[in-house]
Amino acid sequence: MTARQPALVLLLGLTLASGAGCKKDSEPANTGTTATATEVKISDVELGRRLGANSRVADATDKFSPRDTIYVVAVTEGSAPNATVTARWTFEDGQVVKEDSRSIAPSGTEATEFHISKPSGWPKGKYKVVIAVGGATETKEFEVQ
């Protein structure tokens, strides 16, 4: 048995050494896929009745009439080869009104527009829209009166 102990110790040492050497090689190359989560962030969320020429909210408000088109603009900062901006609109009880996403390739400040409309009119009550980019979210609450 004592003759086997040095062989086992040597085998264990080689296994640990080869595992440590492989660890560095097994790490994924930086392909830019994490840029969305780390480099692009939400700097502002604008809510209103209409957009201006610059694709930003021109008539900001959080109070709407039932037949209004409701706009939200997600303003992001940062750069990435691609990122996804998502808007999730919900009614008082958590009922999803609409969920939409846009793919962007931001380089600096980017304004991404979403909107909802209902020709027959929105039910009166409290709503919210949650904007998400990567793992970050921003929520805006609004009311239809």
**Domain spans, the chain:** 35-144
pTM of the full structure = 0.72
pLDDT of residue 35: 40
**Sign of the four-CA dihedral 86, 89, 94, 96:** negative
Look up the CATH number of domain 35-144.
Answer: 2.70.50.60
pLDDT of residue 2: 54
* 12-33 pLDDT, tens digit each: 344 434 444 443 343 434 434 3
Backbone angles phi, psi at 128, to 5 degrees: -150, 155
Instruction: Encode the chain (145 residues) as per-residue pLDDT tens digits.
Output: 555 554 444 443 444 344 444 433 434 344 343 443 458 999 999 999 999 988 899 999 999 999 999 999 999 999 999 999 999 999 998 999 999 999 999 999 999 999 999 999 999 999 999 999 988 999 999 999 9
**Sign of the four-CA dihedral 24, 26, 32, 36:** negative
